[in-house]
Amino acid sequence: MADDNDVLAAFLTLSATLTGYSQFRLLGTGQAEPYLATTRGAVGDDVLDQLLTTSAAVHDKAADNEEALDRGLRAGILSDDKLGPVARNVIKMWFVGTWYQLPQEWRDAHATREPDVTHVVSPASYTEGLLWPTIGANPPGAKGQGYGTWASPPLIDVP
C-alpha cells in the first residue's frame, strides 16, 4: 500500500464498516485525511499497514456477506490485542473527533509514540463528528441553525 490514495481508500473501507456510515458520508466530513494522518502518527506505519491489510483481507474474504464480514472483523481485528484498540480508537475518532490515548497495556506492548495523546484532531473534527447526525442534532453552537429554527423539526439526515 505504497500509494497514498490506496491507503486512504483502505482506511475508508475499514472506517465505513466500523462506523456504519457510507464512504460518501465519511468523505463528506472532510476529516478522512486528518484522521488517517492522526492514526498513522499515533501507531506508526507498521501497525497502520497491518490494520489495513487485515481489513482488506477480511473484506475480500467476506465479499458481500455481512455476517461473514462481522465475524471476520471481530476475529481478525476487534479481538486482536494489537489491532483491536486501534480500531476502537478509529471508531471513537469518527464519532467525536477526538483521538484517545491508547491503553497503557497497548503502549507497553507495542509502541509509545509522542502523538499518541488524547486530543481533538481539529476544530472541524468536533463539528463534523458522526455523533451529531447519529443523534439527529447539530453540534450546539458550532453549526448554524438559524433564529427560531428550534420551533421546527430538525433538518439533518438521520442515517
Partner 1 sequence: MTLRRITTVEDLHAYLHIAMQLEHATIPPYLTALYSMHPTTNADAYRVIRVVAVEEMLHLTLAANLLNAVGGTPDLTAEGFVPTYPAHLPDGETDFEVGTRAFSRDTIETFLKIERPALAEGDGRFVARERSSRALLPGVDAHEDDLHFYSIGEFYAEVGEGLQRLYDEMGDDLFCGDPARQVGAAYYYSGGGAIVEVTDGASAAAAMRVISEQGEGLGGTIYDEEGELAHYYRFQQLLLGRYYQPGDQGGTPTGPPFEVDWEAVYPVKADAQLDDYREPGELRDAVFAYSATYGEFLTRLTEAFSGRPDLLLPAVGDMFRIKELASQIIRNPMPGAAGVNAAPVFRGLAPVEVS
Could you tell me the three cell numbers for 132? 451529531
Quote the least distance from Cβ 25 to partner 1, whole Å.
Answer: 7
Stretch near partner 1 under the rule CB under 8 A, chosen from 37-45, 48-56, 84-92, 142-150: 142-150
Residue 54 in the binding site for partner 1 (CB under 8 A): no
Cβ–Cβ under 8 Å, residues 95 and 129: yes
Q: What is the 3-state secondary structure (H, E, C) of 78-147?
A: HCCCCHHHHHHHHHHHHHHCEECCCCHHHHHHCCCCCCCCCEECCHHHHHCCCHHHHHCCCCCCCCCCCC
Partners of 119 in the beta sheet?
99
Residue 152 in the binding site for partner 1 (CB under 8 A): yes
Residue 144 in the binding site for partner 1 (CB under 8 A): yes
Q: What share of the chain is helix, strand, coil (3-state, %, to 5)?
A: 60, 5, 35
Stretch near partner 1 under the rule CB under 8 A, chosen from 22-30, 45-53, 60-68, 94-102: 22-30
Quote the least distance from Cβ 78 to partner 1, whole Å.
Answer: 26
Residue 140 in the binding site for partner 1 (CB under 8 A): no
Complex with partner 1: residue 118 or 152, whichever CB lies closer: 152
Residue 139 in the binding site for partner 1 (CB under 8 A): no
Could you tell me the three cell numbers for 154? 430538525
Binding site for partner 1 (CB under 8 A): 22, 24-25, 27-31, 122-124, 128, 143-149, 152, 155-156
